[in-house]
Chains A and B, each alone.
Chain A
Amino acid sequence: MRSYIIRRLLLLIPVLLGIIILTFTILQFFDPVQRASLYVTNPRQFRDIPAIIQKYHLNDPVYVQFYYWIKEVLRGNLGWSKSINLPVTDAIIYFLPATLELFIFAVPLTILIGIRLGRISAVHRDKPVDHVTRGLAIAGYSLPTFWLGLMLLMVFYGFFSGLFPPERLGTAADAFVNSAAFTRYTRINSLDAILNLKPWILLDALRHLVLPVITLTVVNIAFVMRIMRSSMLESLGKGYVVTAKAKGLDEKTVINKHAGRTALIPVITVAGYLVSGLMAGAVITETVFTYKGLGWWSVNAAIQLDIPAVLGFSIFVGTIVVLTNLVVDLLYAYVDPRIRLG
């Protein structure tokens, strides 16, 4: 187990390095003037672009540039986002809580519902329940995220006049949250509302979360369901399931306790991909609902050719996904006694 952990941690380094190299390669598509904006920390520096080009050797060979750029990145300077008027690093910190709030609700929902559907599907294999569940999951996966979002808005915002509105908060709530009467501890609105003991803010935040969370969940459920189903089918065919039945245990215990537990283990490995998929979904969902999180910012930036923002965002997300995969791998090794003690 220990060697496994060490190996995994060591693997981290080349991958992170690779992400940085990849981003840097994309960077080279741009000319020096555009690239200058990656080294800027406040707007006044824009007036002196030639100095920046000089300072960071943007006209020099690639490896020289890379050296200077890496130095800046490691210092936390990812450039200036012109679409938002903030340094990129600050922008990331600013927009992170919103996206985090989405994830807090979407991830558990997707996992729990996906697991449940996968289990039902496997237990009733090839019966109508199975076909319907699988069909629905595939249909969910085939829906364009943005289309689903728009349709939901059309119905729940348009038809039901503002039941579940877009964006993060209604105007009144937004004003209140930014005023002195409200302390933003985490900038996660629902959490802050609880901490500030203001139920109406909580309600407002939740109302705005319903549609984006549904959109994110529906599209990604198929993913979890599929792996749970195949894992469960494999588990149900194993010897210890027959043993369990031979002991006189009832169906429910056999399925849930014996087959279910072992089936869950491979599902953990998918969690990493799930986060990746949710991140991609978040980009689109946030745009459709004008939900000002990381995804919305990145699209906005891309359209305005705000290069530092797009690249900074890519590095950030890449790092998060790699770390998540690491955590998932370690978790997997811990949960499975065969690996933990083997």
Chain B
Amino acid sequence: MEKLLDVKDLVVRFYTYEGVVKALEGVDLVIKKGETLGLVGETGSGKSVTALSIMMLTPPPGKIEKGKVLLKREKKYVDLIHQNEAFMRKIRGSEISMIFQEPGAALNPVYTVDDQVSEVFLVHRREALCKKVLEGIEDDIRRKKGGFSPKRIILRWERGIYGRMLKNPDSFLLKIIQRIPIIRRYQRRLKSEARKMTVQILREMEIPNPEDVVDRYPNELSGGMQQRVVIAMALACSPRLLLADEPTTSLDVTTQAQILDLIRKLKGEFGSSVLYITHNLGVVAEMCDRVGVMYAGSLVELTDVKKLFKNPLHPYTKALFAAIPKPGKKLQSIVGTVPNLINPPTGCRFNPRCPKAMKICPKVVPKMKEVRKGHFVACHLY
């Protein structure tokens, strides 16, 4: 399987009043085509920052200091860090998409579902929409044959506009026209075509009554429905990579199961790769092909799912598994707390809490090594 995304040595720092937060220290990730890579870790381990940084949306005051984010495009690898905003805007939403933890917060409360989902189509699928509109206009013109009527003139004019939009989408004339109140009604054709596509994708998300749902406001929908809308927005343009940041954490268990099923099904249909971020090992077991474990800004273990569950190597991973509540057994927690990333521990960041810490641990940062076939660990034990 070939690599779709290759993150090399990503370093992200946040410059705050309290100091410099070293959020990500040299993260290496590879996502292959069609696979689901899980990213596990506690809150504050840097999982979300990783996902946002892949899209070059690191929230300020964060900055990407070093590293490469290589995306495969047409046989070449492009380093996203060195691309300009215009390029990234084309990628976001159409080639790489993201879904978030709280669907209620991710949706704008003052715009309808139609408005928000159609936006994606209007930005990334303009050409296809224009063509459809033109077909519709031609039909209308044919139907109005014979006789002179204002409607015909308007239709002709609309045909001209859309033709121009097809050929030259950034034309200055169009930019001006879309600001003039009455004339810009021509856009309703575009919007109605986009709406059709929106209803279609909502239907694919297994949302009942999509025609009805499109006109609703997000706060009128349940959590599960909201998340489906968010997923619809993300998958609207069949992205090659979907970044899912704890999409089911805020949902109840039944809805969670439904959403997971949905994601799995869609992954098969659309053929996208998924980076699935979660702190729930159960979900990992269900959804992922390979898993990476993050702690305090670095990747500590990376392997495929079965191997991780059968034989976790890193002390942190082992502690995570041990901490899963099992009836009848005493609850095992991990000693200590997540370190402050302004002054992280030196060397291996886990060493203050590690039961197997050695003298070398606080001194040297362990590198990721392939300890067994396809199983990477960053620990001095190996």
Contacts and interface: CB of A to CB of B under 8 A. Distances in A.
A5 B85 CA distance: 47
Contacts of B107: 240, 243
A337 B217 contact: yes
Contact of B219 (A240, A245, A246, A338): A338
B110 A337 contact: yes
A342 B219 CA distance: 8
Contacts of B278: none
Interface size class on chain A is 20 to 34
Contacts of A262: 108-110
Interface string B78-119: 000000010011111110011010100111111100000001
A342 B104 CA distance: 14
B108 A247 contact: no
B64 interface: no
B20 interface: no
A250 B89 contact: yes
Contact of A249 (B89, B110, B111, B234): B89
Interface residues of B, number: 33
A239 B102 contact: yes
Contact of A242 (B94, B100, B219): B100
Nearest to B57: A245
A261 interface: yes
B230 interface: yes
B220 interface: yes
B109 A248 contact: no
Contacts of A250: 89
A73 interface: no
B299 interface: no
B100 A243 contact: yes
Nearest to B112: A337
B55 A246 contact: yes
Contact of B93 (A248, A258, A261, A338): A248
Nearest to B220: A341
Given A242-B59, A341-B220, A342-B219, A247 B119 contact: yes
A310 B93 CA distance: 63
Given A239-B100, A242-B57, A247 B106 contact: no
A327 interface: no
Interface in A230-260: 238-240, 242-251, 258
A336 interface: yes
B320 interface: no
Interface in A13-40: none
A70 interface: no
Contacts of B85: 251
A258 B100 CA distance: 17
A177 interface: no
Contacts of B220: 341
A96 interface: no
A261 B110 contact: yes
B257 interface: no
A245 B92 contact: yes
Interface string B204-228: 0000000000000101100000000
Contact of B119 (A239, A249, A265): A249
Contacts of A338: 109, 217, 219
A247 B109 contact: no
Contact of B233 (A245, A247, A251, A258): A247
B108 A240 contact: yes
B120 interface: yes
A238 B111 CA distance: 15
A334 B334 CA distance: 51
A249 B233 CA distance: 13
Given A243-B233, A248-B94, A249-B89, A265 B123 contact: no
A246 B105 contact: no
B102 A337 contact: no
A246 B89 contact: no
Given A238-B105, A337-B219, A246 B110 contact: no
A263 to B, nearest CB: 10
Contacts of B110: 261-262, 265, 336-337
Contact of A337 (B89, B109, B123): B109
Contacts of A249: 89, 93, 119, 123
Highest count of chain A CB atoms <10 Å: which of B92, B102, B124: B92
Contacts of B100: 239, 242-243
Contacts of B123: 247-249
B221 to A, nearest CB: 11
A248 B105 contact: no
A269 to B, nearest CB: 15
B217 A246 contact: no
B108 A246 contact: no
Nearest to A335: B110
Contact of A244 (B94, B108, B234): B108
Interface of A: 238-240, 242-251, 258, 261-262, 265, 336-338, 341-342
Given A240-B107, A245-B57, 18 more contacts: A239-B106, A240-B105, A240-B106, A240-B108, A242-B106, A243-B233, A246-B57, A246-B93, A247-B92, A247-B120, A247-B123, A247-B233, A248-B89, A248-B93, A248-B120, A249-B89, A261-B108, A338-B109
11 contacts: A238-B105, A239-B106, A240-B108, A240-B109, A242-B106, A244-B108, A244-B119, A246-B93, A250-B89, A337-B219, A341-B217
Give 10 nearest A-B pairs by CB, closest first: A239-B105, A248-B93, A248-B92, A247-B93, A240-B108, A337-B217, A246-B98, A243-B106, A248-B89, A239-B106
